[in-house]
Structure 1
């Protein structure tokens, strides 16, 4: 055995040696062992062929190499082997099928194991499914891609089959639907493998490989299953390069994707003495490569970072006695004999270890690329096109959100409006959405609506926001706005120049674009009331097309000091400290706002950043609303919220790790941090993302790259606080994920609507704008 393979020494409550089980990696850094068969008697020298179904469940802690027994409750499924399992949501697993002994197969129920609460305590439940099911089977595969849970193949106990079924988890009622394809289909098979290539941006692709046919022959073919934008499914046979040696047919193996490389591990051919290699298929070149392998079948495998782990199954030396060892395959060492694959692997490693500092300035108005995203400055956006649906699971089990983005005729249907007499949202829109009309913006004017109008608008908006997830799933094309800070006139300039979200207006483009606003709607500017009321009215009018993300100023502790409270008192003639005030009502709504969004499964949008605590985007879904921002941190969840709302990138791409945020928190009292480019790259790789877009800072050119272009900061205020002469920008993300910044330069005659009378309040100035690689410092005020 070469240095590519290493036996992992495990500790704790060791499970019995077994085969036919599943190991599923979850976000807690654990792999969960479910089912399989174990030796019926302890003396393994005499236990050949005498097995029983394992009833216990174990977790394996990747960091400490500790096995622990998982205590379960709820509707516990019958012990089984040759079943299939897949992780659906962070710390949740579903299983289906398998054999249960005595010639019987497991029921056709879909079971969910929820491990989100305490460590090593799980809750089993049966997922409510209506209609027909795929039926009982074993030796099949179960995968999850976008919003679809997919079963393929297996055996009914009489013969292998090749049917394919899916559940669309985005729908209100879960139902199995048989996938009917007009294209050629794979042959019936059992004990094959299936893996999802998440590197395919357009649509995650499932690839099945191998298996055993009806005539008991091992197979070596591979097939892609893809879903088209119009909802059609197709099987496509994978064509191998003929001049490259192809893998041997096999079954009872496993397969895993590492970026564009599909790894086929173990299995058997029917000849127990036949040695098999690890075969790697490069989906970009259609070439196979082979490497030395651990000989194992009926095992389980999982991927963590750049290592594949294998547990259980049988080996060639003792084909009747299951193995209980964990082995690690170091992919870096494994791929060294192949220069093309080794180079490809090194590219991914370089992204983790060294980020090239880009000196390109947005001011040059040139095109530049950031991985799979092209940013082109100052080109007109394109209004188009039909969008793909997104998936989301609720905070418990797999209850789908009532959130459907089905498109028809290449035109996005408008979401339903809230219809009632004297619709308050329309009243606000009619008066405030005036991008081409100069209105009186004197700081001392009374607000044109009453406090009770604002409260009614908040009631309507909050009812919508509560029903939507805390981590939004959004589609492109979409426009992204950074900080607005009560600068209503700047918002109107962007709407005037680059289109506004109003269906009835001549320049309205809400049918073609979604809009997302990355927080800091109030404070500092003198027209926070116009700004927040307009955004809330847009949310009510277009609930599924307007997305509002919480910023650090959407917090009563902050906006009571930086302008919003004083503006409510002055322009509404109210006591903002009263629980019945508009100020208090708006801040109660702020506690329900989402904390982040993901666009097309690839672009992570957040106000501040990822800080020190956030490892997986889906961890946000475990945070319960309403959220009161706690500045005196006592637990990791409170720190995560602070990180999401307050953290900044480090001062340059050369500053790595987690650092104190001295510019905002010089004394360290607020637990504010900065995160380096290495943190950005690790987060993107772990979450299969490719870009972070955030706001929270004033940047001189309106937008600025960090971490070699893997993070972009966008600021939508022009000449922030009337002091910094910075440009403002929005980002237009087109359907093909091309990113087009739209900039507005400050002008000498730019009308100032920033609060200038700071004698009555604390200093509201932000820290100075971020000048790339200069690392200016100032106290947060």
Structure 2
């Protein structure tokens, strides 16, 4: 069976090279920078930048602007945010080293235009070096080892990219440390008990020995860092020492690819270290060194470097390693890869069944718990020895709170550990939250809520609502157009003013019940996908409660915009009428609650991304949305323009209004006759091919959206790569549909929780037949499209 495949690349092909870096970023692209080209004795150091499109297999030279790094090889690069990478160090030829400046390449503005910037740094730097590693574990950029031009070193430095001014800090670890080394590798473990740990492997020592040890760098709750040596099971064959190799993590497995040993021409296997069992496994390998590699789904791509049969002439071949084939001889590793694929898709038929909730695949177990208990208070020299054979674990290490640019993201453990260990999320200030407390204490009544009549006077005065809007808008303005969230998280679809449904969800499946014993706000974030108002008869209770929760917990409660968070829509579908009747106001007055709430709506984000894998938005991707960066580039306050005249206006309509096609067999872009009966072409349906292409381009695995009434409360599309969730039961009193909330667990398993219609005789703002003729509810989406019903 052939596990390796040559990728036939097209376009503006870069010269064959070695000592370069390739960094996989969003938009489905890998960025090549620098390296050395030429033949024996005639090598030339380069500073060119190329992009490789994973979908089209096209190379293209990146047009760069700003202050670019000078040509270099044996440097290090890492992705630090969407379409942003940093470069540090390297050699410039003739025994000279590159400067110790930190360079940022920003590719967010366009696919093949990059802006280079020298990051301003204060204080002492790690200094010039080559053959080192650079990793990023949010928010820390970490440089380790390398050669200073005089000798290999083992110092470790970090930068907290969230703190200004940017300052390098040398990590003074009191534990046993790796010996000095150069041409080693380092990667971030992405799952399991060592999740978030920096793992360094191999390299060449000061006495020219090829090393085969692995070390994990971890951060404690009190801010201390230390190294822990990875245990190797004695009965298993250990890896051969090597350097000038590459490593990548797939799930909890470390893959070591290529490299060379102290013996000229010695062939090497691909060695795989399982951080859960401390076992090494060996597989056939391509022979490459001074190359670079990157991971896409379950394929590892290798580019450039030298091959053993021509060790003086670099290659320009891209080789693909199919991990499904490679790992077949090992059933345990094949099973782990299957878990990884499951996590990538985030959803399985079993986990989506409302009757079945499969057992959690949490990586914690009795062995790990015992290991944790034994480690408490143990001296450093008693931890992770070969005799103990403990799993390579990040236990007792608190993952720090991170931020993407302008966005705080709270790093979460599993529910139990978060409740015990995580610092309490506090309100911004007591003074700012007095009004929020008042709304929450009155409206957040999951067990004792009263089913208010549709015309009952609202419990708060207009000035209180406006004060709440002012505070909520101040919070929302400080957060980006695309939120970054962590799991576990609860995801709600349309609520449409059905306050009683929201309380039932909170009662049955947990709520952010402030200061109450039933609160789970310390364990879960909450994400609401828009359409808070209209149709139902308690839009005021719904929106005021959600805004108050946002003020109270700005980094735990996430609100994104739906198509009804728009003054031109909610002026005709219920919210305006509710404000007029229940508050006694003129909605046309600029000082009205109706006007103030709609001004706030124009600041709401349009999307959220969970764990860098799942994008959540209200409607869909339509015909225009191709990259997440396009949403990020939209400016606020944002008014939705329905008579579209520009691509940007169409993009907004796509995000808020578009739907999937009627089935997985309907491809491309199609008219959306139900939502656009006039045939303007502004509101469309998108097929499963659009979903798949969008996910590939953005390195995502799932779309979660709302916007459509679905009979079971949730529904799959595009073979499970898109989920629709709808949280309002018996929509408009006509469809008898269930409502759902999706609980996204820490391991990215999705468990839907359902509620069903109740005989509450609840009316809504469009109940009378004359109004229904003017603005009928959108018909529900049916799993069996052949039985789809039409409601006139």
TM range (shorter): 0.7 to 0.9
Question: Greater shift after overlay, 327-336 or 122-131?
Answer: 327-336
Cα deviation for residue 467 of structure 1 reads 0.4
Separation in structure 1 between the aligned mates of residue 301 and residue 114 of structure 2, nearest angstrom: 23
Separation in structure 1 between the aligned mates of residue 102 and residue 527 of structure 2, nearest angstrom: 36
**2:370 corresponds to:** none
Cα deviation for residue 94 of structure 1 reads 0.2
Query: Cα deviations across residues 438-479 of structure 1 (Å, max 9, x unaligned)?
Result: 668333345455555444432321111010122323345544
Separation in structure 2 between the aligned mates of residue 15 and residue 255 of structure 1, nearest angstrom: 23
Is 2:28–2:53's contact at 8 Å kept on the other side of the alignment? yes
Q: Structure 2 vs 1, CA of residues 359 and 471 (structure 1 numbering), >3 Å: closer, same or farther?
A: closer
Is 2:346–2:748's contact at 8 Å kept on the other side of the alignment? no
Cα deviation for residue 54 of structure 1 reads 1.8
Cα deviation for residue 722 of structure 1 reads 2.0
Separation in structure 1 between the aligned mates of residue 562 and residue 425 of structure 2, nearest angstrom: 27
**2:243 corresponds to:** 251
Q: Structure 2 vs 1, CA of residues 172 and 445 (structure 1 numbering), >3 Å: closer, same or farther?
A: farther
Separation in structure 2 between the aligned mates of residue 280 and residue 373 of structure 1, nearest angstrom: 19
Question: In the alignment, is residue 335 of structure 1 matched against residue 299 of structure 2?
Answer: no
Cα deviation for residue 352 of structure 1 reads 9.8
Cα deviation for residue 136 of structure 1 reads 2.4
Separation in structure 2 between the aligned mates of residue 326 and residue 725 of structure 1, nearest angstrom: 58
Question: In the alignment, is residue 673 of structure 1 matched against residue 685 of structure 2?
Answer: yes
Q: Structure 2 vs 1, CA of residues 247 and 411 (structure 1 numbering), >3 Å: closer, same or farther?
A: closer
Query: Cα deviations across residues 148-193 of structure 1 (Å, max 9, x unaligned)?
Result: 3222211122221222233333445543344454554322210012
Is 1:426–1:537's contact at 8 Å kept on the other side of the alignment? yes
Question: Greater shift after overlay, 515-524 or 217-226?
Answer: 217-226
Cα deviation for residue 715 of structure 1 reads 3.2
Question: Greater shift after overlay, 105-114 or 468-477?
Answer: 468-477
Residue ranges of structure 1 left out of the alignment (5+ in a row)? 375-384, 395-399
Cα deviation for residue 633 of structure 1 reads 6.1
Q: Structure 2 vs 1, CA of residues 17 and 757 (structure 1 numbering), >3 Å: closer, same or farther?
A: same
**2:283 corresponds to:** 290
1:302 counterpart SS class: strand
Cα deviation for residue 326 of structure 1 reads 2.7
Is 1:23–1:302's contact at 8 Å kept on the other side of the alignment? yes
**2:382 corresponds to:** none
Query: Cα deviations across residues 17-68 of structure 1 (Å, max 9, x unaligned)?
Result: 43322122332343322222344xxxx5xxx424443233333444555444
Separation in structure 1 between the aligned mates of residue 605 and residue 433 of structure 2, nearest angstrom: 28
Question: Greater shift after overlay, 685-694 or 453-462?
Answer: 685-694
Question: In the alignment, is residue 75 of structure 1 matched against residue 67 of structure 2?
Answer: yes
1:522 pairs with one of 528, 533, 536: 533
Map of 1:262-341 to 2, 5 A cutoff?
Answer: 262-281=254-273, 286-293=279-286, 295-323=287-315, 325-331=316-322, 335=326, 338=329, 340=331
Is 1:212–1:250's contact at 8 Å kept on the other side of the alignment? yes
Q: CA RMSD in A?
A: 4.4
Query: Cα deviations across residues 401-445 of structure 1 (Å, max 9, x unaligned)?
Result: 466679997354343345659954455445544556666833334
**1:377 corresponds to:** none
Separation in structure 1 between the aligned mates of residue 482 and residue 519 of structure 2, nearest angstrom: 27
Cα deviation for residue 143 of structure 1 reads 1.6
Separation in structure 1 between the aligned mates of residue 696 and residue 194 of structure 2, nearest angstrom: 18
Question: Greater shift after overlay, 602-611 or 98-107?
Answer: 602-611
Q: Structure 2 vs 1, CA of residues 36 and 585 (structure 1 numbering), >3 Å: closer, same or farther?
A: same
Question: Greater shift after overlay, 574-583 or 105-114?
Answer: 574-583
Give TM-score, length-normalised by structure 2.
Answer: 0.81
Separation in structure 1 between the aligned mates of residue 183 and residue 594 of structure 2, nearest angstrom: 62
Cα deviation for residue 113 of structure 1 reads 0.8
Q: Structure 2 vs 1, CA of residues 410 and 462 (structure 1 numbering), >3 Å: closer, same or farther?
A: same
**1:191 corresponds to:** 183
Map of 1:495-510 to 2, 5 A cutoff?
Answer: 495=506, 500-503=511-514, 510=521
2:105 counterpart SS class: strand
Is 2:9–2:57's contact at 8 Å kept on the other side of the alignment? yes
Is 2:350–2:357's contact at 8 Å kept on the other side of the alignment? no
Q: Structure 2 vs 1, CA of residues 778 and 701 (structure 1 numbering), >3 Å: closer, same or farther?
A: closer
Map of 1:321-720 to 2, 5 A cutoff?
Answer: 321-323=313-315, 325-331=316-322, 335=326, 338=329, 340=331, 361-362=353-354, 364=355, 366-368=356-358, 389-394=400-405, 401=407, 410=421, 412-417=423-428, 424-429=435-440, 431-435=442-446, 441-449=452-460, 451-476=462-487, 478-495=489-506, 500-503=511-514, 510=521, 513-577=524-588, 579-600=590-611, 604-609=615-620, 620-631=631-642, 641-648=652-659, 655=665, 660=670, 664=675, 669-676=681-688, 693-703=704-714, 713-720=724-731
**1:161 corresponds to:** 153
Cα deviation for residue 547 of structure 1 reads 1.7
Question: Greater shift after overlay, 655-664 or 91-100?
Answer: 655-664
2:545 counterpart SS class: helix
**1:211 corresponds to:** 203
Separation in structure 2 between the aligned mates of residue 320 and residue 526 of structure 1, nearest angstrom: 75
Separation in structure 1 between the aligned mates of residue 504 and residue 342 of structure 2, nearest angstrom: 42
Question: In the alignment, is residue 112 of structure 1 matched against residue 111 of structure 2?
Answer: no
**2:30 corresponds to:** 31
**1:381 corresponds to:** none
**2:770 corresponds to:** 759
Cα deviation for residue 748 of structure 1 reads 2.7
Cα deviation for residue 108 of structure 1 reads 2.6
1:135 counterpart SS class: coil
Q: Structure 2 vs 1, CA of residues 641 and 389 (structure 1 numbering), >3 Å: closer, same or farther?
A: farther
1:368 counterpart SS class: coil
1:18 counterpart SS class: coil
Q: Structure 2 vs 1, CA of residues 299 and 493 (structure 1 numbering), >3 Å: closer, same or farther?
A: closer
Is 2:257–2:271's contact at 8 Å kept on the other side of the alignment? yes
Is 2:782–2:788's contact at 8 Å kept on the other side of the alignment? no
1:49 pairs with one of 29, 36, 41: 41
Q: Structure 2 vs 1, CA of residues 304 and 731 (structure 1 numbering), >3 Å: closer, same or farther?
A: closer
